[in-house]
Amino acid sequence: MAKLIAQNNCKLDKTIIFVLFDMEEDGLKGSKYFVKDYLIPVEVIQNGAKVIAVIVMDMILEHDSTRNSQSLGIIANVLPEWSAKVKQNGYRGDFAAVWARKGIDTKLYEKLEKNWVNKD
């Protein structure tokens, strides 16, 4: 995303901070440190920044087009249409899923969905 913004000389009216963390499964150490020791004290309190959105991209390096590489677990019951698509595709982990909280992330999600190039 950062590369595309730079390559296309996008003129933004908001600041975007790209942050990457490792070992999030080990107690969210990196993201908790970032928020508690940098984002809140420095950007919000010291600099007066207003955080309007956070986009969390998790597991983006887990692409696997091997048959049966994606298990669905309990989410299959919650999202039956999505589950059917994954099943039709041979349970391959070759997709990106976008999740949003209704009423909280709705506007951000709709903007992303409207501008997503390849929804399939």
Q: What's the predicted TM-score (pTM) here?
A: 0.53
107 assigned to some structural domain: yes
Number of domains in the chain: 2
DSSP per-residue codes, 54-99: -----STT--B-STT----TTHHHH-HHHHHHHHHTTS-B------
**Do 45 and 84 share a domain, yes or no?**
no
How do the pLDDT tens digits run along the chain, 120 residues long?
A: 888 888 998 888 888 888 888 767 777 788 888 889 999 999 999 999 998 877 777 666 678 899 999 988 888 898 899 899 999 999 998 887 777 888 888 888 888 888 877 666
Q: What is the DSSP letter of 40?
A: I
**Do 47 and 67 share a domain, yes or no?**
no
108 assigned to some structural domain: yes
57 assigned to some structural domain: no
**Do 44 and 73 share a domain, yes or no?**
no
**Do 84 and 102 share a domain, yes or no?**
yes
Expressed as residue numbers, the domain containing 99 is 62-119
**Do 68 and 111 share a domain, yes or no?**
yes
